[in-house]
Amino acid sequence: MNALSRAPRRAVLTLLLTLLAACGGGGDGEPAPTVGAAGGSVAGPAGASVTVPAGALAADTPVAIAASSDGAPPLPAGPLGSAVFALTPHGTAFAKAVTVRLPVDPSAVPAGFTPRLYKTNAQGAWEAVPGASVDAGFVTAEVTGFSWFAYAALPPTITTSPASVAVVEPASATFNVSALGSPPFTYQWQRSGDGGVSWVDIAGATARSHTTGATSVAGDDGARFRVVVSNPDGPSTSAVATLTVTTPAVAPVITTQPANAAAAPGGSASFSVVASGANLVYQWQRSNDAGATWADVAGETNASLVLAGLTLADSGAQLRVLVGSGTASATSSAAVLTVTAVAPPPTGSGHVAAGFGFSLLRTASGPALSWGVDGNGSLGNGLPITDQLRPGPMPLSNLQAIAAGGGKGAAIDASGVGLVWGNNGFGELGVGDLDPRNTPTPVVGASPASRYQAVSVGPEHVVWLRTDGRIEAAGFNGVGALGQPSPLYLSMTAVELPGGGRHKLIAAGNNFTLAVRDNGSLWGWGTNNSGQLGRDPSTNSLQGQQHQVLYVPNDPQALCAGFRHAMALDNTGQVWAWGETANGKIGIGPTVGRWAPPTPVQLTGTYTAIACGAEFSLALRDDGVLYAWGQDETGQLGQGRALGMSQVPLAVPGLPPIREMAAGAGLGHVLAVGRDGSVWTWGRNDSGQLGDGTRTDRATPQQVLPAGSVQ
């Protein structure tokens, strides 16, 4: 009964009471008159009547008229112009139309409404009776069946009003309405911009649904909408819907990705993320199936995560974090957790790196440093090509890895982007051409989404370990060092290693590559002319094909590759070496033949890190003592004088406890980092690679940077 005043409602109520009183409530107990085939008339309360023509009924039928709505279906909301009359028996069918005459009061229906005579049908719904006419206070119509009758104005009944809508600008919004009643319906949508105080018709919005144009917070947020639904009986107005418009959510930007972490059993590992944005929320997730599925880590909703009480079963787990801001979110890259039985060694790219005649150092704060020869821009400082005899700054900071090789360097920034500089004769920088670079330049990965966790630099190729465990490489592939099909001579961009598999360690040697898969197996590809792939040199025909390196115990924790030899550190802290035996660099004492398969090095104790020079080797014991063996023409073994060579490992005297080291190519030099963060150098110094301001070779370790230089 929308849009009715109280006065019409009182009039309707008075009319109903009057009509019911006139018929005595229909309960006088008198038997209903009988009408047969001859027809007849039956009178009812308040002048109501039914006239049955002859032949309309085939048999005698008791006909009754009562002012009663008992048992009738409810009328849709609307003003009544009469009582509800029951003509019985309900469902009586007449062969000819009978005339029904009922008392009405048209004045009881407010202006703007059009009352009609309604009756119920066999389905229990009210329907208009066609041809009804009103005269002298009565409505008359011809019908062919009995039911309930009422003279009423029944405007549409709105069964579903428009619902409030929330959108993000500039999206449009759609409102809908549903109504029941006598068709035809018309619709007019209205809008209020002042909280419903005033309403304006929306031009052209005359359908059951209304869709706005592009929205804006300034012009549409808080606007109200409603619709007037009309039929011949009158109008009904819907409830009000509110439009809420918000600005698009801005996704957080992850500026520092979680980094890989390593720990011993029983220890803990920390992961953290740095992101920019407003009202940030965090949810860490963990995957135990190499990233195939992820599950929330309960309660870990901060920017950092600490996993404690680790076991060997936790090794290989991946961690990532969802960073949310409002309705927008960003997902970090995955960090890998490694749990080993010995103290975790540095990754293939630590804080120091030694190339051919130059040195690199990454710091926890401030720029990275470089010194030594600057041929083809190997120092990466962007300055005119010139040797630098002391450490100088590079345009790099906040790195997670750094590496050096034959005249070139590589690094990984905090977001996992690979950077390269220096010599590029075989396209090994992976920047799309053969031109050298004297400033760090992003590598062109196998896809724009490539992100890296480790890098290793060989003389003519560079190998990258992605955060998803896949390997990419660029440079010379003539003997298969990139692991690509043999027709590919070189690649000037980083290409993905074919064949699948996830990896956790990489090492690039002189035209060969080694890698450890996540199941702990050791694999190699490239040249094998000296057994550097751990196989008899007669199998060199396998160059370019990946094959498993045998004999080394499962699950190496560190790898390094020299010119024609290689080493691995197993999960018990034992060092293994293989390849060319010349100059004693294998460290297994006098040998017969020119190559050796993977064999334990003659060392005692437990070791945590290894490094390979071109013709010498290093191993770090867990108490911080550093051992060296192999060629010693320029003092690279650090024994105080050049020995020529040593076939067995020798402790390097004069050093504080060491935590990591790097071995250079060629005749070689060594960089070592003390546990106090000091930096020490010795060996070849013809280009100032020792950083002491001279070009004098040193057979005795000397400190070139003070404690705290490396965090």
Whether the per-residue pLDDT at 557 is higher than 70: the answer is: yes
Per-residue pLDDT at 538: 78
Per-residue pLDDT at 12: 31
Assign 486 a pLDDT band (cuts: 50, 70, 90): confident
Segment 498-528, tens digit of pLDDT? 987 889 999 999 999 999 998 889 999 999 9
SS3 672: strand
State in words which class domain 6-152 has. Answer: mainly beta
Whether the per-residue pLDDT at 23 is higher than 80: the answer is: no
Span 695-706, average pLDDT? 96
Per-residue pLDDT at 199: 97
Assign 281 a pLDDT band (cuts: 50, 70, 90): very high
Whether the per-residue pLDDT at 11 is higher than 70: the answer is: no
Assign 232 a pLDDT band (cuts: 50, 70, 90): confident
Assign 3 a pLDDT band (cuts: 50, 70, 90): very low
The answer regarding whether domain 253-339 maps to CATH 2.40.110.10 reads no
Q: Judge whether 157-246 and 253-339 match in fold.
A: yes
Whether the per-residue pLDDT at 14 is higher than 90: the answer is: no
Can you read off the two tokens belonging to residue 285? 């997730």
Whether the per-residue pLDDT at 8 is higher than 70: the answer is: no
Residue 444 CB contacts under 8 Å (≥ 6 apart), including other chains: 430, 431, 432, 493, 494
Closest CA to 98 of 64, 151, 146: 146
CATH topology of domain 352-705: Methylamine Dehydrogenase; Chain H (2.130.10)
Per-residue pLDDT at 634: 95
- Is there a contact between 629 and 648 (Cβ–Cβ < 8 Å)? yes
Q: Which residue has the higher pLDDT, 349 or 681?
A: 681
Per-residue pLDDT at 370: 97
Mean pLDDT of the chain: 89
Whether the per-residue pLDDT at 554 is higher than 80: the answer is: no
Per-residue pLDDT at 541: 52
Per-residue pLDDT at 501: 80
Q: How is 246-299 classified by DSSP, letter by letter?
A: EPPPPPPEEEEPPPPEEE-TT--EEEE-EEESSSEEEEEEEESSTTSS-EE-TT
Q: How many CB atoms lie within 10 A of CB 479?
A: 19
Per-residue pLDDT at 657: 95
* Ranges 114-118, 122-126, 583-587, most confident: 583-587
- Side-chain-side CA neighbours of 291 within 13 Å: the count stands at 15
What is the rounded CA–CA span in Å between residue 189 and residue 252? 40
Segment 160-187, tens digit of pLDDT? 999 999 999 999 999 999 987 777 899 9
Span 415-427, average pLDDT? 95
Segment 595-617, tens digit of pLDDT? 899 999 999 999 999 999 999 99
Whether the per-residue pLDDT at 284 is higher than 90: the answer is: yes
Query: Which CATH superfamily includes the segment(s) 157-246?
Result: Immunoglobulins (2.60.40.10)
Amino acid making up residue 690: L
Q: Name the pairing type of β-strands 157-160 and 178-180.
A: antiparallel
pLDDT exceeding 90 applies to what percent of the chain? Answer: 70
Per-residue pLDDT at 527: 92
Q: What are the boundaries of each domain within the chain?
A: 6-152, 157-246, 253-339, 352-705
What is the rounded CA–CA span in Å between residue 597 and residue 81? 109
Segment 621-659, tens digit of pLDDT? 999 999 999 999 999 999 999 999 999 999 999 999 999
Per-residue pLDDT at 17: 31
Cα 663–Cα 420–Cα 637 angle in degrees, nearest 5: 5
Segment 396-414, tens digit of pLDDT? 998 999 999 989 999 999 8
Q: Name the pairing type of β-strands 165-168 and 241-246.
A: parallel
Whether the per-residue pLDDT at 542 is higher than 60: the answer is: no
Segment 301-339, tens digit of pLDDT? 999 999 998 888 898 999 999 999 887 899 999 999 988
Per-residue pLDDT at 341: 57
Whether the per-residue pLDDT at 465 is higher than 70: the answer is: yes
- Side-chain-side CA neighbours of 240 within 13 Å: the count stands at 14
List 412's β-bridge partners, or say none.
401, 418
What is the rounded CA–CA span in Å between residue 240 and residue 534? 79
Segment 434-460, tens digit of pLDDT? 999 999 999 999 988 889 999 999 999
Assign 77 a pLDDT band (cuts: 50, 70, 90): low
Q: How many CB atoms lie within 10 A of CB 264?
A: 14
Assign 4 a pLDDT band (cuts: 50, 70, 90): very low
Per-residue pLDDT at 543: 62
Please report, to the nearest 10 degrees, the dihedral formed by the alpha carbons of residues 275, 280, 283, 287 taken in order: -20
Assign 234 a pLDDT band (cuts: 50, 70, 90): confident
Assign 29 a pLDDT band (cuts: 50, 70, 90): low
